Amino acid sequence: MVLAVALCALALSACGRDDFENEPRPSLPTEISVQIADDGVVVSPSEFGAGLANFTIVNLADTTTTLVVTGPTEFETEDIAPGTNKIIKQEVATGEYEASAESAEAEPFQFEVGPDNPSAQHDLLLP
- CATH numeric code, 30-116: 2.60.40.420
Q: Quick one: 113 exposed, middle or buried, by C-beta within 10 A (0-12, 13-18, 19+)?
A: buried
CA distance 62 to 76: 19
SS3 state at 12: helix
**Given pLDDT bands bounded at 50, 70 and 90, which one contains residue 23?**
confident
pLDDT score of 107? 93
Q: What angle do CA 31, 102, 56 make, to 5 degrees?
A: 15
Is residue 19 pLDDT above 60, yes or no?
no
CA distance 106 to 62: 11
pLDDT score of 99? 96
pTM over 0.85: no
CA distance 81 to 115: 34
* pLDDT tens-digit readout, 77-120: 999 999 999 999 999 999 999 999 987 688 999 999 998 877 76
Domain coordinates in residue numbering, the chain: 30-116
Is residue 42 pLDDT above 90, yes or no?
yes
**Given pLDDT bands bounded at 50, 70 and 90, which one contains residue 34?**
very high
CA distance 127 to 125: 7
